[in-house]
Amino acid sequence: MAGAASLAVLAMAGCASAPSGEQQVQQLDKAAIARLKAAPSLFISPSGQPFRAAPGEAYPVTAWFAQVDQNHDGRIDRAEFRADAEAFFKVLDRNHDGVIDGFELSYYEHDVAPEILGAYRGGAMGDTQAEPGAGHARGEHERGPRGRQPDVLGLQGAVAFELFSKPEPVAAADLQVDGHITQAEFLTSANRDFDTLDKAGKGYLTLDDLPKTPLQAALEGDKKGKR
């Protein structure tokens, strides 16, 4: 659990020293981008749920958005955002005691989203062989292809695949920094994330409101990481 502990510290301390996603994308050459496009893509939702897509498919942020937008109106409101976080909390709370403990956090990092520990990164171009022993969480989309993600963005943990700069998005919800994440903490973190994304204070999010992850910006050739 050393990897889990180190990522938890990074998640709670933030990622201030890491280069921004925009800076990383600007540094990529054509060969590096080709490596990324040859591998399965990954989006990690604000609550930490992974969504994967095969090379050439649409970046899976759209799959997450469709999951959260329960009334299919093209918007995610706060209630829908919180409901999605609560549902994923229940997936991770495997013993249903209302707390994500260290063992459940380790399960998340090693079985649900092992990419954040680097288990699926650093392979050669086109090396998309899935690793054994990978579990999966709620929904169908996270069961997409799992292969090696070329580590060309140089970002820590989940940062390359998410809307924020949290190396470990689940551990980042440990607001009391006591090694236990309650549902109340998880939902408080979800509220904060919604407020961060809802910059205009509209009370809802559209797909166009969301920033691009560094990986999405690289795949789509957007130097500014904007949608």
pLDDT confidence tier of residue 116, bands split at 50, 70 and 90: confident
pTM for this entry: 0.78
* 63/147 Cα distance (integer angstroms): 19
Q: Is the pLDDT of residue 17 over 60?
A: no
Query: What's the rounded mean pLDDT across residues 114-139?
Result: 48
What local confidence, expressed as pLDDT, does residue 3 receive? 46
Give the pLDDT confidence score for residue 96 in this predicted structure.
97
Question: What pLDDT was estimated at residue 216?
Answer: 92
Range of weakest confidence among 10-14, 114-118, 146-150: 10-14
Categorize the per-residue pLDDT at 4 as very low, low, confident or very high, splitting at 50, 70 and 90. Answer: very low
- The pairing of strands 181-182 and 50-53 is unpaired
- For position 7, what pLDDT does the model report? 45
Tell me the domain boundaries of the chain. Answer: 2-219
Distance CA 162, CA 101 (A): 23
Maximum distance among all Cα pairs of the chain, rounded to whole angstroms? 49
When the pLDDT of each residue in the chain is averaged and rounded to a whole number, the result is 80
Mean pLDDT confidence for 4-21? 43
User: What number is the average pLDDT over the span 44-52?
Assistant: 97
